[in-house]
Structure 1
Amino acid sequence: MNLSGKIVILTGVSKGIGHATARALLAKGAVVAGWGRTAPADLQHERFQFIECDIRNEVAVQEAYVNTRREVGEEIHVLINNAGVGIMGPVDGFAADDWHTIFDTNVHGTFYCCRAVLPQMKRQGQGHIINVASLAGTMGTENMAGYCATKFAVRGFSEALFKEVRQDGIKVTCVNPGSVETNFNGATPGAEPNPHKLRAEDVAATIIHALESPDGVLVSEVDVRPLRPKK
C-alpha cells in the first residue's frame, strides 16, 4: 500500500510505539487519527487529528469512529491496534480489577476497534489491520500470566480474523515485539538507547514495512526481537 493520503486510525498514540508509529506514518504522507485518553503534547501536524477515546469502553469506540470519519474522511484504510497495558504479578496475589483492566484494554479494546472499521473496509474492498501483540503471547513467563494471556488472545484473534476477511481484500497483521525501551509498565527510557532492547522506532518501522507490502501479499505475523538481548 502506498500510504500517501491514506487514512489511518492509531490507538495508544500518546507515547511509546504509538507515538513513534504516528511520526513514521506522517513522514510517509498518511493522515493519522490518533485515538487515546491523552493527547501527545509534542505531535502537531496538519495531517494529524487527535480523537479522545478510551478503547475499553465500547460506546466510546463507536463515538470515536464517528468523530474520525467526520473529521478526517469517510474511508478508513488502516487500523493499528497499539494501545495496551501491562500489569505484572503472581496469580495468587493478582487483583481481579487489574485482570479485568488488562483484558478490557488489550483484548476487548482490540475487538471493539476491529468491529468498528470492518464494515467500511469491506465496502471499500480493501484495508489493513495491524494488531500489536508481543513475544509474551508466544510463551508463558512467570509473574506475567495476565499479560501473556491477553497477548495469546490477540494472536489467536488476529489469526482467525485474517482468515475471515482476506477474501474481502482486507489484510490482518499481528506484530510481536520483544523488549522495547518505552514507558510501558511505568518504565522510563534512558538518555542513551539500550543496546539490549528494541526502540519504539524499530517497531514502527516494522509496521510500516508490513503496510507497504504489495497488494497481493499478506504478512500475517512477524516477531521483532533485539539482535543482542541482555543475557
Structure 2
Amino acid sequence: MDLTRKVAIVTGASKGIGRATVEALLERGAAVAGWARTAPEGLTHDRFQFFECDVQDEHSITEAFTNTQRELGPEIHVLVNNAGLGIMGDIDGFKVDDWKTMFDTNVLGTFLCTRAVLPQMKKQQLGHIINVASLAGTAGTAGMAGYCATKFAVRGFSDALFKEVRPAGIRVTCVMPGSVETNFNGNEPGAEPDPYKMTPESVAEAIVHAIEAPDTTMISEIQLRPAQVK
C-alpha cells in the first residue's frame, strides 16, 4: 500500500514502538491518529492528531473512532494495534486484577479496536490491520505465563482474522518482536542503548515494510529478534 494521503490509527502512540510507528508513517506521507491515554510529548505535525483513548473501554474507543473520522475523514486504511502491557510474576502469587488488566489491554483492546474499523475497511474493500504481539506469543517463559497467554491470544486472533477478512481485501499482519529497548540505559543523557535489544524504530520499520508490501502480497507474520546475543 502506498501510504501517501492514507489514514492510519496507532494505539499506544505515546511512547516506544507506538510513537516510533507514528513517526515512520508520517515520514511515508500518511495522516495519523494517535490513540493513547496520554499524548506523545513534543510530537507535532500537520498530519498528526492525538485522541485520548483507553483501549480497555469500548465507549472510549467508539469516541476516539468517531473523532478520528471527523478530523481525518471517513476512510481508515491502517490500524496498528500496539497498545499493551506486561506484568510479570509467578502464577501462585499473581493478582487477579493484574491478570484482568493485561487481558483487557492486550487482548480485549485489540478486539475492540479491530471491530471498530472493520465495517469501514470492508466498505472500502481495502485496509491493513497490524497486531503487535511478541515472541512471548510463540513460546512460554517461566514467570511470564500471563503475558505469554495474552500474546498467544493475539497471535491466534490474528491468524483467524486474516482468514476471515481476506476476501474483503483486508490484510492482517502479526508482528512479534523479541527484546526491545524502549529507554536508554542509565539516567544520563546520551547513554548508549543496549546492543542486545532492538530499537522501537527498527520494529516500526518492519511494520511499515508489511504495510507497503505489493498489493498482491500479504505478510501474515513477522518475527523479530536482536541481531546479537549475550
The one-character-per-residue Cα deviations of 1:196-230 (angstroms, maximum 9, x if unpaired) are 10000000000010000000100000101111122
- For 1:59 and 1:50, the matched residues in 2 are separated by 17
The one-character-per-residue Cα deviations of 1:121-176 (angstroms, maximum 9, x if unpaired) are 00000000000000000000000000000000000000000000001000000000
1:12 aligns with 2:12: yes
- For 2:64 and 2:112, the matched residues in 1 are separated by 11
Aligned to 2:193: 193
1:110 aligns with 2:110: yes
Aligned to 1:45: 45
Aligned to 1:28: 28
Aligned to 2:188: none
Aligned to 2:82: 82
Deviation at 1:189, TM superposition (A): 2.5
Aligned to 2:66: 66
Aligned to 1:165: 165
Whichever residue aligns with residue 150 of structure 1, its letter is: T
- For 1:212 and 1:197, the matched residues in 2 are separated by 25
- For 2:104 and 2:229, the matched residues in 1 are separated by 31
Moved over 3 A (4+): none
TM-score, length-scaled by structure 2: 0.97
Over the aligned positions, Cα root-mean-square deviation in angstroms equals 0.6
Aligned to 2:101: 101
Deviation at 1:30, TM superposition (A): 0.5
- For 2:71 and 2:93, the matched residues in 1 are separated by 45
Whichever residue aligns with residue 58 of structure 1, its letter is: E
The one-character-per-residue Cα deviations of 1:30-73 (angstroms, maximum 9, x if unpaired) are 00000000001111000000000000001111111111100111
Structure 2: give runs of 5+ residues left out of the alignment. 186-190
Whichever residue aligns with residue 7 of structure 2, its letter is: I
Structure 1: give runs of 5+ residues left out of the alignment. 183-187
Whichever residue aligns with residue 27 of structure 1, its letter is: E
SS at match of 2:4: coil
1:139-158 equivalence runs, <5 A? 139-158=139-158
**Number of aligned residues:** 225
Whichever residue aligns with residue 53 of structure 2, its letter is: C
TM-score, length-scaled by structure 1: 0.96
SS at match of 2:10: strand
Whichever residue aligns with residue 24 of structure 1, its letter is: A
- For 1:36 and 1:211, the matched residues in 2 are separated by 22
Aligned to 2:210: 210
- For 1:66 and 1:164, the matched residues in 2 are separated by 25
Whichever residue aligns with residue 212 of structure 2, its letter is: E
- For 1:83 and 1:67, the matched residues in 2 are separated by 19
